[in-house]
Amino acid sequence: MLAWARHHCLPLTALADPQVTRRALDALTLRLDGTRAAAATITRKRAVFHGCLGYAAELGLLEANPLDRITWKLPRSSFAVDPGSAATPAEVQAILAEVTQIRPELTAFFGCLYYAALRPAEAVALRASSCILPSRG
């Protein structure tokens, strides 16, 4: 395993070259399938990478942490939702009607996801005492 890593990996000292370090940072933005990772994932990976390089500098394997010399910003997310992929109000009513027939206890849950734009965890935690509801309607 170590022989494979020695053969296929750059030496740690290669990170002294800012271009190599930038390529490593850019690689942190990708998932294994080549698509863009979530911002929180990229931030976490960069923090771990920074910590590893800091430890290498502490051990004397690098002169200093190469990330401290690079100005690198988290890439902006360019993800846009296609409005055509969202369910129409009529489609949602049909879905909720089916849910009511199959599992009526889940109708309010799915209704909250659509009409109130709640996340599933927020819908699960929702209580009547958290809401200001009209007396009728």
Name the one residue in this structure whose structure tokens are 């009547």.
128
Residue 75 lies in a domain: no
Which of 69, 92, 119 is at the close of a domain? 69
Residue 77 lies in a domain: no
Confidence band of 79 (pLDDT split at 50, 70, 90): low
Q: Which residue has the higher pLDDT, 79 or 26?
A: 26
Put simply, whether the predicted model's pTM sits higher than 0.75 gets the answer no
Q: How much is the mean pLDDT over the chain? A: 90
pLDDT digits (tens, 9 = 90+) for 43-55: 999 999 999 999 9
Same domain, 35 and 62: yes
Residue 50 lies in a domain: yes
Q: Residue 45 sits in which domain range?
A: 2-69
- Considering only CA atoms, give the Rg of the chain: 25
Residue 119 lies in a domain: yes
